[in-house]
Structure 1
Amino acid sequence: MADREFDIIVYGATGFTGRLVAEYLAGHYPDVKWAMAGRSLTKLQEVRDEIGAPADTPLLTANADDPASLTAMAARATVVITTVGPYQLYGEALLAACVETGTAYVDLCGEPAWMAQMIRKYEDAAKASGARIVFSCGFDSIPFDLGVWAVQQAAIARFGKPAPRVKGRVRAMKGTFSGGTFASGKASMAAAAKDPSILKLMIDPFALTPGFDGPRQPNGMVPHHDEAVDAWVAPFMMAVINTKNVHRSNFLAGQPYGADFQYDEMLVVPGLGEIGKAAAEALAKVNPMAADKGPAPGEGPSKEERETGYYDLVFVAEMPDGQRLSATVKGDRDPGYGSTSKMIAESALCLIRDVPAEGKGGIWTAGGLMPEPLVKRLEANAGLSFSVE
C-alpha cells in the first residue's frame, strides 16, 4: 500500500475525540501524510483551523449513509482511523469499505455484540483482501489487553510459563467515560432488550473467540476483599468488553496464556474494613449506562480536565503454587479522551511503521496483532508506562 495517497485518514475529525486525534497528528507527526474526513466540509475547515493544523491539510467528505463515498475514501488510505460511533449504528459500511479495498482500520469500539457480528461476517474477506481490522484501540481495551500481555511476559521470564489466572484491577482513575462510550452503551442495552441472543452474547466471555469456549471465568460482579491487592473490589463497567478482547487476543495469538486461562477485572475501592466493604457494595449497584442522560457524542471535558486526568491499573498473575507477580499500566491523561486519542493514533502508526502487512489480513485486537511494538510506541510517545512491580 505504499502507493496510497494518504498514510492515515481520520474519519470523524469534527467529533470531539476525532478532533483530538487530528490535533495529535498535526502536532506530533508532520512527516505523516494524513487527511481529515467527515460529513461537512465547512466543519472540517473550522476544526482544521482551530487545532492549528497546516492550511493545506487535505479535507475529505464522506458519510456513513453513502457507502460509495466511504469506499472511495478508504481506497486512498493505508489506514483509516474512525471515531464515529456507536459503531453498531454507523460503523459497518466503513468497515466493509476497508475490507473491500484492503485498507487497515482502527476504531474505539466497545460494543461486543456488533464486533462478534462483524467477525462472523467479514473475517474471511479481510484475510483475503489483506485488510487489517483492529477493534478497540482506546481505553477500551488497549491498557488492559496489553497489561495482561505484559504481566504474562514477566511471568514467563520469572516462572518459565504463563499464569493461568490474571486479575486486572483499576487502582485509580480520574476522568469520565466519553459521550461516544455512553451512546454505545445505551445502544447496546437497547439492542439487547430487543434481542435476547445479544444479551447472551454480551455476558459470554468468549463471545469473540468463535469455535473456542474456554473455562468458566471468575465472577467480576460480586464485591469482595481481594487479597491480591489487599482491598475491597467492586464491578468495573468496562470489564464486559475488555475481558472479551483479552480472551480474543489469547485466541488469535495461538493461546500463549493457555487454553485454561482465566481473567477478570474489578475496581479497587478505597477504604478499610467495613468502610471499604460498604463502598464496594454501593458501587456494585450503580450502572452509569442506566441514566437517562449522559455526555452527548461530541461533548467532552476541558483541556485542563483532560491533562489532569490519569489512570493506574495493576495486573496480578497468580501461579498454581501460590506465587504472584504484578505489572502496572499507567496513563498520563484522562482515559476517555486525552489518553484514548493518543492510543488510537499510535495504533494506526504502528500498523504503518511497525507491523508488516503481508499475511496479516483479518479482524484483530491490538494484543493479538502487535503487542510488543505497540507497547514500545505507547511508552515512547503516548504517556503510558508499563512496569513490573
Structure 2
Amino acid sequence: MADKAKREHDIVVYGATGYTGRLVAEHFVREYGGRPDAPRWAMAGRNRSKLEDVRTLIGAPDHTPLIVADADDPASLDSMCESARAVITTVGPYQLYGDALVETCARVGTDYADLCGEPAWMREQIDRHHDLATASGARICFSSGFDSIPFDLGVLMLQKHAVEGFGRPAPRVRGRVRSMKGTFSGGTAASLGATMKAAAKNPKVIGLLRDPFALTPGFEGPDQPSGMVPHYEADLDKWAAPFVMAPINTKNVHRTNFLLGHPYGEDFRYDEMMLTSPGDAGRKMAEAAVELMKNPFGAKPPKPGEGPSAEERENGHYDILFVGEFPDGETLRYAVKGRYDPGYGSTSRMIAETAMALLASEAEGGVGTPGSFLGESLVRRLRDRAEMTFELEG
C-alpha cells in the first residue's frame, strides 16, 4: 500500500469523453478546483483530441493530465491502472467493455468504482476476481451511482439507528421511492438491453436475475417479498408499484449485509417499490407500472452518450423512504433525498465521492459495495459534496 500512495494520480476518470464521464470530471473541477484537499486526478479515454476538447469544455486546468487508454489495448489499461490509486469508469455496458479493467485493477491493486447495474456480470466478476482483489488490496466497488448508493446506504443507516434505538436491527425493511424526477441514462438502457440478450442465450443469467441472493455466493437467506405485486400500504396511505431498479438494488443491499457479517441478521427481508397515490387513481397507476416494467424505456430508449440538458439535471430530484419493521409492531423511518436528476446529475457526484472516500478508506480489498467498503464515511461525503440528505423521520 505504501507504493500505491506514491502513484502519479489519485483518481483517473476513465470514459471522460462520454456524457456521464464528463459530468464526473466536472465534479472534480467544481468541487475541488484550487482546494488544498484536491485529489491529483486525470482524464482518460480512447481519443486524446476528444479528451483535450472536454478538458477545455469543462474548464479544467490545462495541466490536467490526459491518458489514452482502451479496453481493447491491455498494455494501455495496465499503464493507466498502475499510475492510479483509484479508477472511476463510466464505460458500459460493463458486460461488454468492463472485463479487462476489473481484472487489471484487481491484479495491480487499484481501487475501482463503476455504475454497474448488471447483476449477472457482477456475480461473474465476484467469482473470478474477489480473491485476486483481496490479495492485491484493490477495492472493486460496483454500483456506485443511483443504483445502488441511496438504497444501500439508506438501509445501512436505518439499521444503525435501529440498533442504537431498539437494541437490534429491523428484520424487515421496505424501501419506498416517494418521488423522483429525472431520466434514466442511456448507459442504463444499454445495460438492460445487453443483459436481456445475455439471458436469451444463457438460462443461468435468468436465474441470477431472479435470485435476490445472486451476489452472496454460499449464502441463501429467507424468502423475499417480490416487490412486483401492486398493493395499498395503509401506514403510508399510498399504493405501491414495482420499481425498475429494485432487482439490482436489493441484491446489493443483501451483499452489503453478507460482506459485513450479517449485521442486519441472516433472516433479513427487504424489497423496493414506488409509491403512487391513494384511491383508485393510485391503484391504476400501480397496475400500469406492472406493464411498464416489461419495457421501462419505451419505444425510443436513450442512447449511451445522450442525456438531459443542464437545466433538466438541475431540476431533478429523488426522495426515498425506508421503513424498518419489528416483530412487536414498532417501526422506524429513515429518508434519503437528493438534488439533481438521479441518473446523471446526482450519479456523477456519487461516483466521484465514492472514489474520494476510497482514497481515505482502510477497508480490505475484494469485490464489494459502497456500503461494505465505505459506509458512514461515504454518507458524510455525500452530505457535504453531493447535496444529499440522510436523516431519521419522526
Give the TM-score normalised by the residue count of structure 2: 0.96
What's 2:20 paired with?
17
The equivalent residue for 1:48 is 55
Name the SS of the counterpart of 1:35 in structure 2.
Answer: strand
| Match status 1:3 vs 2:9 | no
* Paired amino acid for 2:302: P
Cα distance in structure 2, aligned partners of 1:289 and 1:90: 23
Question: Counterpart of 1:377?
Answer: 381
Q: What amino acid sits opposite 1:285 in the alignment?
A: E
Structure 2 residue 292 is the aligned partner of structure 1 residue 286:
yes
| Cα distance in 2 for residues equivalent to 1:220 and 1:78 | 39
The CA distance in 1 between the partners of 2:342 and 2:235, in whole Å, is 24
Q: Which residue of 1 aligns with 2:282?
A: 276
Distance in structure 1 (CA, Å) of the matches to 2:153 and 2:167: 20
For structure 1, which segment, 211-220 or 227-236, has the greater mean C-alpha deviation from structure 2 after superposition?
227-236
1:322, 1:254 → 2: CA distance? 26
Distance 1:103 1:347 in 2: 14
Q: CA deviation at 1:228?
A: 3.7
SS of the equivalent of 2:200 reads helix
Q: How does 1:225-264 map to 2 (within 5 A)?
A: 225-264=232-271
Pairing of 1:1-389 with structure 2 (within 5 A): 1-30=4-33, 31-270=38-277, 272-287=278-293, 288-289=295-296, 291-353=298-360, 355-356=361-362, 360-389=364-393
Distance in 2 between residues matched to 1:3 and 1:343, nearest whole Å? 25
Q: CA deviation at 1:28?
A: 1.3
Instruction: Say whether the 8 Å CA contact 1:162–1:256 is kept in structure 2.
Output: yes
What do the CA deviations read for 1:121-173 (whole angstroms, capped 9, x no partner)?
00011111111110000000000000001111111111110000000000000
1:203 & 1:42 partners in 2: Cα distance?
43
C-alpha deviation, 1:278, in angstroms: 1.1
Q: 3-state SS of the aligned residue for 1:74?
A: helix
1:11-36 Cα deviation digits (max 9, x unpaired): 00000000000011012123210100
Alpha-carbon distance in 2 for matches of 1:244, 1:139: 14
CA deviation profile, 1:44-66 (whole Å, cap 9, x unmatched): 00000000000111100000111
Q: How well do the aligned residues superpose, as a CA RMSD in angstroms?
A: 0.9
Partners of 1:81 and 1:105 within 8 A in 2: yes
Q: CA deviation at 1:293?
A: 2.8
Aligned amino acid, residue 26 of structure 1: V
1:267-315 residue CA offsets vs partner (Å, 9 max, x unmatched):
0012x21111111101111133464531110100000000110000000
Contact 1:185 1:289 (C-alpha < 8 Å) held by counterparts: no
Find the residue that maps to 1:49 and give its secondary structure: helix
Cα-to-partner distance string for 1:60-96 (whole Å, 9 max, x where unaligned): 0000111221111100000000000000000010011
SS of residue in 2 equivalent to 1:313? strand
Distance in 2 (CA, whole Å) between partners of 1:289 and 1:267 is: 14
Kept in 1: contact 2:31–2:385 (CA 8 A): no
CA distance in 2, matches of 1:232, 1:24: 37
Number of residues of Structure 1 aligned to a counterpart in Structure 2: 385
Distance change (3 Å), C-alpha of 1:32 and 1:290: closer
Unaligned runs of 5+ residues in structure 1 are none
Q: Which runs of 5+ in 2 are unaligned?
A: none
Distance, in Å, in 1 between the alignment partners of 2:287 and 2:372 is 35
Q: Tell whether the 8 Å contact from 2:232 to 2:239 is kept in structure 1 after alignment.
A: yes
Indicate the SS of the match to 1:219.
coil
Alpha-carbon distance in 1 for matches of 2:30, 2:380: 20
The whole-number CA distance in structure 2 between the counterparts of 1:67 and 1:173 is 40
Counterpart contact for 1:183–1:297, Cα < 8 Å? yes
